[in-house]
Structure 1
Amino acid sequence: MLSSSVILVAFGCLSGVTTVLFGFGGGFVTVPVVYAVTASGPAAMHVAVGTSVAVMVVNAAGGTLAQYRSGRLRRDYLWPLAGYVAIGAALGAAAATAAPDGLLHLLFAVYLGITIIDSVVRRGFLNGGSPRPLGSPTASLGGVAIGAVASFLGVGGSVMTVPLLRRRGLPMAHAVAMANPLSLPVALVATTVYLSIPAADTSAGVDLLAGALLLAGSLPTIAVARRLLPRVPDRLHALAYVGLLLAALIAVLIQ
């Protein structure tokens, strides 16, 4: 039990660093580790996803406040995209509670692989470009898709919003800054769905102890990292983003 607690706190610290550097509220870090450390029974992946989105509420809220104070948030890219993300999140969370646990695990790995390949192969992510507006179809259809996929897999929206905003020409620092407020509606809606499920229903849920241990590591790390981490060059920032996704994919595949 003690070793599991230490592991969860340590990975909470890691999720704090990824929240600052990449806008991840913790999903790609917390889902694999919660699944590996607390896995038991047929609904282990569902519990890992539910715990991930609960932790993400706190991390994304803190990150949003910090980015607002820094002046990096741009309303024209956040709204109405965030509203459509919330709609999609409700659909995705409801679907996840009914999906087989094995399917959820498989789709999580597939989604990581597709995102990595897309970021490397398609032009625009690694090198950036000139800022362009999102447009109504992208904000509406894209927002619903982002929310649905993110809440279904418990990964927040950053893994889709960062590449989207990056290909719209935003620097990595600004794309990452807006990942936190765009992950927040996913985390809030999905957590509400998971917590509303009766305790006797084991098809989904939240491991409150695991979530508390993860936050014990992430919250102080976020505060320290924002003050101490140096500014990362734009292309290196994009390459590191892809590298983190690859590490998460490897962690999922070896479980």
Structure 2
Amino acid sequence: MYTLLLFAGCLAGITTVLFGFGGGFVIVPLLYAVLTATPAADLGQPNAAMHIAVATSTAVMVFGAGMATLRHHRAKTVPWHEVRPLSVYLGLGAIGGAAAALALSGDRVKWAFMAYLAVSLLDAFLRPGFMHQTRPSIRPMGRTLTAAAGLLIGCVSALLGVGGSVMTVPLMRRRGASMTAATAMASPLSLPMAVAGTATYMLLAGEPTSLGPWHAGYIDLRAFLALAAGSWLGIRLAAPWIGRIPDALHARVYLGLLGLILIVMLAL
């Protein structure tokens, strides 16, 4: 199990650096599958598998997004003037999203996760502006749009345990960003959401021992350590490719990965 999680963490680290996924699109389906194969008595609560998968993914995102942000900053690919205004609103939205996830059944969170992927894919294919960069620079957002977008992205991301990339990357892409810039922004934008979401999943889970001694709230600590170690390795392996993937290819691979993850989730 832990070897598999280590490998998943490595894939998550690679997707975090190159696509801004935050790892959730790899970690949530895999960890959900592992946990559903675990006897219900070992989980401490029935139907807790999806909540644990989402919460643990959010915690791993703190580590992965932090490291990926540092890598992109060193590569000078992060447009910080676009990132800073959104960050506070993302953190605030994440608190509401994590609280909402705990109020929903695991099955509903799973279906919400898949609906999110399907809508994102359809939007990217049906509306112009994602597959090809159309502007020479990023068009700035007004204060109201920044607040609304940040709160929505933070809420949805924490609810589903994924990075905000599926919303921030298309948003910035249509505002003229290259795939390198759009995916670079996803990591620092995922960080405040991940911190706020992780704290909420830890504090609102009920009794500290309800899921066993290796849990902090809904976070599986052993899975977290294995995934974080793999994420560190994946980020190191992927860092040399920052800014080197052709823009059109980068966009196509991004959408292809989303489609693959949706297929995996439908099969679970």
| 1:208 correspondence with 2:208 | no
| Cα drift, residue 136 of structure 1 | 1.8
The amino acid that maps onto 2:102 is T
Deviations 1:112-141 (A, max 9, x none): 100011111110011122121122222111
Give the aligned partner of residue 136 of structure 1. Answer: 143
Q: Which residue of structure 2 aligns with residue 99 of structure 1?
A: 104
Q: Letter of the aligned partner of 2:185 in structure 1?
A: M
Give the distance between the partners of 2:17 and 2:84, measured in 1 at CA: 22
Query: Structure 1 vs Structure 2: percent identity of aligned residues?
Result: 45
Query: TM-score, structure 2 length as denominator?
Result: 0.90
Shift of 1:67: 1.3
Pick closer, same or farther for the CA change 1:71–1:164 going to 2, 3 Å.
same
Deviations 1:33-87 (A, max 9, x none): 0001122431110000000001000000001111112222223211211111111
- Cα distance between partner residues in 1 of 2:255 and 2:263: 13
**Stretch deviating more after TM superposition (130-139 or 30-39):** 130-139
Aligned to 1:84, the other structure's residue is in SS state helix
| Correspondence for 2:119 | 114
Specify the code of the residue in structure 1 equivalent to 2:50. M
Matched, 1:42 2:47: yes
Counterpart in the other structure of 1:177: 184
- SS of residue paired to 1:149: helix
Segment of structure 1 superposing worse, 72-81 or 14-23: 72-81
> Which of 208, 211, 234 is the aligned partner of 1:199?
208
**Deviation string for 1:202-243 (max 9, x for gaps)?**
5x6011111111122110221122126781110110011001
Q: Return the alpha-carbon distance in structure 2 between the equivalents of residues 14 and 86 of structure 1.
A: 25
Question: Which one-letter code corresponds to 2:184 in the other structure?
Answer: A
Q: Where do 1:70-81 residues align within 5 Å? A: 70-81=75-86
Task: Structure 1 unaligned segments of length 5 or more: list them.
Answer: none
In structure 1, what is the equivalent of residue 4 of structure 2? Answer: 7
Question: Paired residue for 2:265?
Answer: 252
Query: Gapped runs of 5+ residues in structure 2?
Result: 39-45, 212-216
**Residue 62 of structure 2 corresponds to which residue in structure 1?**
57
Aligned length: 251
1:32 alignment counterpart:
29
Aligned counterpart for 2:175 among listed residues 157, 163, 168: 168
- Give 1:16 deviation, angstroms: 1.2
- Partner in structure 2 of residue 219 of structure 1: 232
Provide the rounded CA distance (Å) in 2 between the counterparts of 1:58 and 1:223: 13
The TM-score with structure 1 as length reference comes to: 0.94
**Separation in 1 of the partners of 2:182 and 2:264?**
25
The amino acid of 1:190's aligned partner reads G
Which segments of structure 1 move beyond 4 Å, counting only runs of 4 or more? Answer: none
Secondary structure of residue in 2 paired with 1:80: helix
Q: Structure 2 matches for 1:236-247, cutoff 5 A?
A: 236-247=249-260
* RMSD of aligned residue pairs (Cα, Å): 1.5
Letter matched to residue 167 of structure 1? R
